[in-house]
Amino acid sequence: MSMALKQVFNKDRTFRPKRKFEPGTQRFELHKKAQASLNAGLDLKQAVQLPHGEDLNDWVAVHVVDFFNRINLIYGTISDSCTDQTCPVMSGGPKYEYRWQDEHKYKRPTALSAPKYMSLLMDWIEVQINNENIFPTNVGTPFPKTFMQVAKKILSRLFRVFVHVYIHHFDRVSQMGAEAHVNTCYKHFYYFVTEFNLTDHKELEPLVS
């Protein structure tokens, strides 16, 4: 890794604090297992497969948090060139515009600048993954029936970050020599969501077509 790239991927550049798994928990062990597969150079299609005997909800929860941390970091690297002026609309090229909607201030889909959208998105995801009623951390506490629905929504929205970065800011990524890192993260994400059918095909279209 080049010095420039090391400077980019240091903790000070992270968009917000990382969510970590508590050592000794089952989720921590699963996280270690997933990381070991990646570090061993295992084919990404194989690396995303559910390990024998493991619970799918746990496996998805581990990956949702991990992808949140990684994509957070990727966006943090280009955030200085993603401003209200350069990106007045959160989009993925001329064909795709993403509008923000939540349960609070934006009850209807609302057009926002990319940085505003990103900030709201990361705040919203952080609330979800830190909510014990949705992402339980205690062994034996069951996942809610709505867990997979929430996970799908998080992953679909995170995919939009990839779309925006690839289409509008890939020159910045290239400038920093970070293409390989971003491409690997994208492939890992893509194989995971398609393996478990966690994102609608329509959401994937901007980068698949």
CA distance between the termini of the chain: 31
The predicted structure's pLDDT at residue 5: 36
CATH of the domain at 192: 1.20.140.30
The predicted structure's pLDDT at residue 188: 92
The predicted structure's pLDDT at residue 67: 94
What does the alpha-carbon distance between residue 111 and residue 114 come to, in Å, rounded to a whole number?
9
User: Does residue 82 form part of some domain?
Assistant: yes
Local structure of 91: helix, strand or coil: strand
| CB 161, CB 71: distance < 8 Å | yes
Q: Is 185 annotated as a binding residue?
A: no
User: Does residue 16 form part of some domain?
Assistant: no
- pLDDT by residue for the chain (209 residues), tens only, comes to 333 334 333 434 444 545 555 555 555 555 555 555 455 456 888 889 998 888 999 999 999 999 999 999 999 989 999 999 999 999 999 999 999 999 889 999 999 999 999 999 999 999 999 999 999 987 778 999 999 999 999 999 999 999 999 999 999 999 988 888 899 899 999 999 999 999 998 999 999 85
Spell 119-146 as b/e; 16+ CB within 10 A means b.
bbbbebbeeebeeeebbbeeeeeebeee
155: containing domain:
3-9+22-207
What does the alpha-carbon distance between residue 153 and residue 167 come to, in Å, rounded to a whole number?
22
User: Does residue 50 form part of some domain?
Assistant: yes
Domains identified in the chain, total number:
1
Lookup result for tokens 């890794």: 1
What does the alpha-carbon distance between residue 71 and residue 148 come to, in Å, rounded to a whole number?
20
Q: Is 164 annotated as a binding residue?
A: yes
The predicted structure's pLDDT at residue 1: 36
User: Does residue 121 form part of some domain?
Assistant: yes
Spell 17-54 as b/e; 16+ CB within 10 A means b.
eebebeeeebbeebbeebeebeeeeeebeebbeeeeee
| CB 137, CB 25: distance < 8 Å | yes
The predicted structure's pLDDT at residue 46: 87
User: Does residue 14 form part of some domain?
Assistant: no
User: Does residue 123 form part of some domain?
Assistant: yes
The predicted structure's pLDDT at residue 34: 54
Q: Is 87 annotated as a binding residue?
A: yes
- For the chain, the farthest-separated pair of C-alpha atoms sits apart, in whole angstroms, at 50
Cα-to-chain-centroid distance, residue 148: 15
The predicted structure's pLDDT at residue 39: 52
User: Does residue 114 form part of some domain?
Assistant: yes
pTM of the full predicted structure? 0.82
User: Does residue 17 form part of some domain?
Assistant: no
